[in-house]
Structure 1
């Protein structure tokens, strides 16, 4: 029986209604027992359900990142991911998961692209719809984000995206429209940025006229966290819910705005109705839902199989000369690179979470090949210290990797002790404590048998001490790191500045912490730790103990990393090892310094001396494979000198096992690129992500990514959208057109290779009109055994035949019937054209 939501709303007074429209805490909504409304619980996604804590929360499953999952070009995979995340949500009684992210890959510099699917609106929209169906079929709400034109992070809280009306509808709104039309997504999130001079949280045109009006959307639009800037303009502009709480710009101010006639109470009633409809859908209205009891644990065999398969299937073969891959199991391998031993499995910011483990490529490949693998560390890949990963720092409370954090109120009373596996914690946002936090101690034991970097990360004034010999290190006063590998000998004089004596104090300055803040420039200090004397029977253990005065909100943590060797020495070791093996596998990539919320990239070059490492190894090795551990495009100046390249994304907690399975062919890496890889910095249709005077024009219009490249608005790329070789070889024949309102293409594909393989037949439309870009209109994937053929049908999506008319503000036009279809394995490998 359908609940009479209007009657429930009518039973509430104005203040009670307004109270429901701001979060009760960082990730919860208020209950209202008088109408049977229970608390609703939200969690960040989209690569795992972190829960109600921004950092230091429970151990949860870490999935492969969005671009890697999207590289399967498989709606069934997206549906499975939605179901998996719904199970993860149910384990924590979470009602709403904040994902998927369906902003487009406009510029390859975007720092948050790893969370989003693709540069193409159709591919993004259809995968998002499948993800939403998977989640909501289990009664957990998905949240489409970020509405809209939120394709970069620089000045994201204040910048204005300037987008013409046609481009807005044909590209940036289209994935949202598809996910609403095909899957009925229950919530959306309004972005931080302005759109054409109006805040996304106040966008009457987008939120009211288009989404709720034109699309008939019955769901709820919430703000991004801390994005709402006003009371009446946001309420009238279609925003239904302000997050987080309990404070915010609504509350008493919105009540006053209604009483002053600035906001009609009917507007408030509509917002509350949408909130109650969400509650009804997720089981938080009336009789409380019953959550399933048996859900696989994050480290269970079920999850291990799922995550390995999902990641491996999305890995993309970019190059494979002479069929070097898959590797023969008798092959001897030298595995090289910092990313081989410290594989990056997730991006930074609100997508980060606390997984049970993260498997490195070194662990994964060694598990399959044993002593046929020799592992060599690579060059340094970071420009700044980060919270330690692994067992370098351990918490005194339990001896596990991580730190202990003790929180105090203004009177010095202890409020809480928490263990933080990620060596950092968020303070001041999601704390459920009896009093505000005034100070915190961050404590860890440091284990090292050689030079190291230690330090503190966060906002405020720090006092740092230790229990043993930390004073033999040094404390730079300018915020720089000590020289790598040049720590003083034990008991000697410090090599920089003055010694860090017990109780030394130094000040930190930063522009602020906040949600997703990962940029440590300059809110950190580091100092060198002396190596253990050669006479010592075991690695030294030091106690790092830092106290910080808390003012507001921010991320705080301890830094602990082994000091890096000089690049020339590392490369020399790699070259010697590579010369003695059948194959050298070099793992390179990016880190959360480049792929994170809150910051964009300024180059596509690999950080550090990774390019030099690949060049040197390729010159010495018999055969060289490069694995790219990055979610977004990178430059490959060594491409012609290596034999094979795998693009592995950010592969999640089973990342090392997935890469190993792909290298050996246990799972075919059948991925296809979801973003065009430019051949050089600046060589893409849209490049700059830096606003000028707060304005970021989307001047390329609808010619984003491959659309601009194929139109000649940017040079030939290194790799086109849709590229991916897999382990099959393919012939296309008997291509036919079936006409209709949404025409279809049929084609016979034959696997003439040696391995079973999955083919993705892609169809693009090249319109006859000169001002219309080439666009993806459909695709179909199929698995075929060696020597076998299959007949494939690709039905074009009717939505790609529309053209937005900016004069009538509607889909008033249809593309002319003239033009041609491109039948392709990616736009760099067009197999047939059909007029």
Structure 2
């Protein structure tokens, strides 16, 4: 290769008609060099399907009115299956669901002649209002890593490159390109790097994406510590590092700091800038060769040099079927007071939602807004499907399949002020809507928390995103443009839908409402719950996340009992006013100005999600006598079923261990109910007090399918040598993992809030031993 050829291969191309695929106008590729046999490398975004896939309407290339970003975001993008969101995959607590998810993506990437999948996203739900939580796998690093590894392997199995992102500390969308994230080394390794470590060591991930933000004072894409010392030297990563789009800040530091591919355009790696650096002796040709070699090795490994760019038709029906399967596996039944499942012969069903919100009207994915088709939201995870299924359509479809052709499903939409409503489009008073709910056989309310890349669910005094006035961790907060910073007033002012008041009014319509009413949530993440909605007088609550194109069918399958809910929440749902976000400082979010730079500090350390509540960091969350947490409405790992389960007779062996040999946790799981279902027993450990760790951490789980009356023995192994470091802590001084000595308590249960002590293992690690 000539120097010019090498430089051209280091970056993505400016928007162009693809030489290999003239039917595509694209800007997510590295243009190939035909005379050298180097193929065009085509990249698609994720993580919830094949979105922004390097192929929009070629007419946009010459349209003078087209946006300069049309090649990246235009809704004429090649179509694909809009899958359920990342939390749905995580909530399945089933690695096979992650493989199914990755398999759909891999199949459709091959159909569209794509090579690189910019996913999975493995950032943590440090902030429940993080705009991209729906792309990720929740608040626990072990669960996140487990799901990511299986999705990666499914994509790789199809001869494609998976790309774990965003490395690292990319837990805030507000001012994400300039935000300074300060994370102590121990917290960084044990919480935020851990899923990436699992992706590298267990998933053999081919690529890593560096992020927009700064980590401990250094831009993520030129961070020698995270990209070279940790990623390559400590973990042995052999793939390549690609920048997030427009994330880079420099020329020389990025190349020397460990980045290998700049996307989407040459920017700081424009040929003239790299040649100047070469002439000045700041970089060597060998640095360029290394960057290219890392990527070419992966391209050869996955056969990309060996196959032509040929597109084939996508089997949209097959993709939709898999999407429906993933969605039903990942939905979580948070509460049920007898309303669910609905009777198959139900006659009068009222679906209630807000006029200004999508939940009861349209299929829901990230960034969807009322009246616009799916895929028009503008975020990088948008997928353009060939069809969507609305909530009412889904209920009608499933009722018909059950033989009920006489049911009447009515759509009731209520205004924000709860003054007026429409019933199937006819204007009525809110009182008339309540009458309809009171008289119906079944009532299904729908609400949630829409979000999108580019902003968090919070309100600020102005577009600078520096002074917050409110955090939208509830069902009422919304904004017209979820991908833009919300302000107190102005064109993107935060608004109040008064959804919670609507739900309360419906529940108060008659004394028997709890017996026939379900609330379906379609959420970005867990959400703070009004106490009035939780408990015997509240509705049944089904969390469906962002179900994607099969929304209506997924929800209807679960409401009508065609599918038995088996998901477990990957988030904690606090009571309103008692959560982490009610106690968060401005330094924690959105950051304070330090030396003129907006700086966030993870002062909570390793206490995120359920660990924050377990540790009673606020002083208001001391466990009650029954072990429940007064701050938590629904704990991490919680999820009900239409049957009942019992976990019994736990045994932990051995009683003493040397810190290297596996620990076995055995117990029985029995279906004590009347229908078949699946339970997810979870194993947590509490490390010795000397470790100075949060009270417990998830170290294992298993999804067990059982027929009525069936009992099964389950064994979960805790391997101290596992990549997830279940019994270890990061020693920042020694730059290694160490295993604390002392008593390790092992817990088994069906959520982080409902565990029983299974046994204690005394760990004795020889002095100086680590893994």
Same fold (TM over 0.5): yes
Aligned-pair CA distance for 1:165: 0.5
Task: Assess if the C-alpha contact under 8 Å between 1:376 and 1:574 holds in 2.
Answer: no
Residues 1:699 and 1:373: Cα distance change in structure 2 (over 3 Å):
farther
For the residue of structure 2 that corresponds to 1:818, the secondary structure is: strand
Deviation of 1:22 after TM superposition, in Å, equals 0.9
Distance 2:299 2:648 in 1: 52
Q: Which consecutive unaligned segments of at least 5 residues does structure 2 have? A: 15-26, 57-72, 368-376, 400-404, 459-470, 477-496, 622-630, 761-771
| Cα distance change on mapping 1:381 and 1:99 into 2, 3 Å | farther
Rounded Cα–Cα distance in structure 2 between residues aligned with 1:283 and 1:819: 46
| Alignment correspondent of 1:760 | 680
Distance change >3 Å, CA 759–CA 13, structure 1 → 2: same
What is the count of residue pairs matched by the alignment?
A: 640
Q: Deviations over 1:113-132 (max 9, x none)?
A: 01000111110001100000
Match in the other structure for 1:166: 186
Contact 1:71 / 1:674 at 8 angstroms: preserved in 2?
A: yes
Aligned to 2:397: 367
Deviation of 1:303 (Å): 2.5
Report deviation, 1:366.
Answer: 1.9
Residue 570 (structure 1) shift: 5.5
**1:288 CA displacement:** 3.1
* 8 Å CA contact retained: 1:104, 1:120: yes
Question: Any idea what SS the aligned residue of 2:685 has?
Answer: strand
Specify the alignment match of 1:42 in structure 2. 43
- Confirm or deny that 1:306 pairs with 2:306: no
CA change 1:635–1:65 in 2 (3 A) is same
Distance of 2:649 and 2:186 partners within structure 1: 37
Distance 1:609 1:649 in 2: 20
1:328 corresponds to:
343
Alpha-carbon distance in 2 for matches of 1:327, 1:723: 22
Structure 1 residue 759, shift from structure 2 partner:
0.6
Equivalences for residues 798-817 of structure 1 within 5 A: 798=720, 799-811=725-737, 813-817=738-742
CA contact (8 A) 1:64 1:651 kept: yes
Aligned to 2:413, what secondary structure does the other structure show?
Answer: coil
Match of 1:578 in 2: 437
Residue of structure 2 equivalent to 1:788:
710
Instruction: Give the 3 Å change call, closer, same or farther, for CA 833–570 of structure 1 in structure 2.
Output: farther
Out of 380, 397, 411, the residue aligned to residue 376 of structure 1 is: 411
* Conserved 8 A contact 1:152-1:600: no
Q: How many Å separate the matches in 1 of 2:617 and 2:757?
A: 24
- Between the aligned partners of 2:311 and 2:95, the Cα distance in structure 1 is 25
TM-score, normalised by the number of residues in structure 2 = 0.79
In structure 1, distance between residues paired with 2:745 and 2:611: 15
Structure 1 match to 2:372: none
Secondary structure of the corresponding residue to residue 592 of structure 2: coil
Is the 1:603–1:681 Cα contact (8 Å) retained in structure 2?
no
Greater shift in the superposed pair: 78-87 or 792-801? 792-801
State whether residues 22 and 248 of structure 1, in contact with CA within 8 Å, keep that contact through their aligned partners in structure 2: no
User: 1:155 maps to which residue?
Assistant: 175
Corresponding residue of 1:354: 384
Counterpart of 1:775 in structure 2 is 697
Question: What secondary structure does 1:340 align onto?
Answer: coil
Match of 1:603 in 2: 472
- 1:821 aligned to 746, 761, 766, which one? 746
- Tell me, yes or no, if the aligned pair for 1:571 and 1:616 is still in contact at 8 Å: no
SS of the residue corresponding to residue 183 of structure 1 reads: coil
Q: How has the CA–CA distance of structure 1 residues 271 and 596 changed in structure 2, closer, same or farther, with 3 Å as cutoff?
A: closer
Ranges of 4+ aligned residues in structure 1 off by more than 6 Å:
none
Which string of whole-angstrom CA distances, capped at 9 and with x for unpartnered residues, describes residues 284-335 of structure 1? 33x4357685x6422x2x223212121011110000124x321211234222
CA distance in 1, matches of 2:281, 2:653: 58
Contact kept, 8 Å, 1:341 with 1:377, in 2: the verdict is no
**Post-superposition offset of 1:574:** 2.3
SS in 1 for 2:43: strand
- CA change 1:193–1:628 in 2 (3 A) is same
2:572 maps to what in 1?
676
Deviation at 1:609, TM superposition (A): 1.8
Deviation at residue 282 of structure 1 after TM alignment: 3.6
Which residue is equivalent to 2:315? Answer: 297
How far apart in 2 are the matches of 1:582 and 1:642? 17
> Once the two structures are superposed, what CA deviation does each residue of 1:68-120 show, in whole Å capped at 9, x if it has no partner?
11110111110111111011101110000111100000011211101000111
Q: Within 1, Cα distance between the matches of 2:362 and 2:412? A: 9
Q: CA deviation at 1:647?
A: 0.5
Report the Cα distance in structure 2 between the residues aligned to 1:738 and 1:224, rounded to whole angstroms: 46
Equivalent position SS for 1:662: helix
How far is 1:804 from its partner? Answer: 0.8
Instruction: Report whether the alignment pairs 1:648 with 2:544.
Output: yes
Contact 1:83 1:135 in 2 (8 A): yes
**5+ long unaligned stretches in structure 1:** 1-11, 383-482, 486-561
Deviations 1:799-822 (A, max 9, x none): 2212111111122x1032413111
CA distance in 2, matches of 1:327, 1:75: 30
The Cα of 1:248 is off from its aligned counterpart by 4.2
- Is the Cα contact below 8 Å between 1:571 and 1:613 reproduced in 2? no
CA-CA distance at 1:681 after TM superposition: 4.5
8 Å CA contact 2:352–2:446 kept in 1: the answer is yes
1:102 correspondence with 2:122: yes
Distance of 2:433 and 2:522 partners within structure 1: 18
Q: Which one scores higher on RCO, CA 8 angstroms, separation ≥ 6?
A: 1
CA RMSD of aligned residues (A): 2.5
Separation in structure 2 between the aligned mates of residue 691 and residue 730 of structure 1, nearest angstrom: 45
**Is the CA contact (8 Å cut-off) linking 1:778 and 1:797 kept in structure 2?**
no
Secondary structure of 2:431 counterpart? helix
Match among 549, 561, 564 for residue 665 of structure 1: 561
Asked if 1:748 is matched to 2:668, the reply is yes
Match of 1:363, SS?
helix
CA contact (8 A) 2:745 2:757 kept: no
Question: Would you say 1:690 and 2:590 are equivalent positions?
Answer: yes
User: Which residue pairs with 2:465 in the alignment?
Assistant: none
| Closer/same/farther in 2, CA of residues 318 and 337 from structure 1, 3 Å limit | same
Find the counterpart in structure 2 of residue 449 from structure 1. none
Q: Using a 3 Å threshold, how does the CA distance of structure 1 residues 820 and 64 change in structure 2: closer, same or farther?
A: same
Indicate yes or no: 2:700 matched with 1:700: no
The answer on whether the counterparts of 1:14 and 1:255 sit within 8 Å (CA) in structure 2 is no
* 1:41-76 Cα shifts (integer Å, max 9, x gaps): 001111111211422212221000101111101111
Distance 2:296 2:393 in 1: 48
Does the 8 A contact of 1:757 with 1:784 survive in 2?
Answer: yes
Secondary structure, aligned partner of 1:328: coil
Q: Aligned equivalents of 2:413 and 2:102: distance in 1?
A: 36
2:307 to 280, 283, 288: 288
Alignment of 1:24 onto 2:5: no
Out of 229-238 and 729-738, give the one that drifted further: 729-738
Corresponding position: 1:612 with 2:512: no
Give the greater-gyration-radius structure (CA). Answer: 1
Q: Which stretch has the larger CA shift, 38-47 or 740-749?
A: 740-749
Where 2:508 maps in the other structure, the secondary structure is: helix
Question: Which one of 284, 298, 303 corresponds to residue 264 of structure 1?
Answer: 284
Structure 1 CA distance for aligned equivalents of residues 157 and 136 of structure 2? 22
Deviations, residues 707-729 of structure 1 (Å, cap 9, x unaligned)? 11101114322211100012221
Aligned equivalents of 1:833 and 1:23: distance in 2?
54
Please report the TM-score for the alignment, with normalisation by the length of structure 1: 0.73
Partners of 2:32 and 2:41 within 8 A in 1: yes
Distance apart, 1:603 and its partner CA: 1.7
Question: Would you say 1:624 and 2:624 are equivalent positions?
Answer: no
Of residues 362-371 and 668-677 in structure 1, the stretch that sits farther from structure 2 once superposed is: 362-371
Deviations 1:573-609 (A, max 9, x none): 3211011122211111123xx3443344322121302
What secondary structure sits across from 1:653 in the alignment?
Answer: helix
Q: How far did residue 250 of structure 1 move?
A: 3.9
Contact 1:230 1:250 in 2 (8 A): no
Question: Within 1, Cα distance between the matches of 2:300 and 2:182?
Answer: 37
Deviation for aligned residue 1:13: 3.2
Aligned residue runs from structure 1 range 370-519, under 5 A: 370-380=405-415
1:733 aligned residue: 648
Contact 1:350/1:597, CA 8 A, preserved across alignment = no
Q: CA-to-partner distance for each residue in 1:244-268, whole Å, 9 max, x for gaps? A: 1254444221222122111233222
Q: Is the 8 A contact 1:378 1:571 kept in 2?
A: no
In structure 1, what is the Cα distance between the partners aligned to 2:653 and 2:408? 52
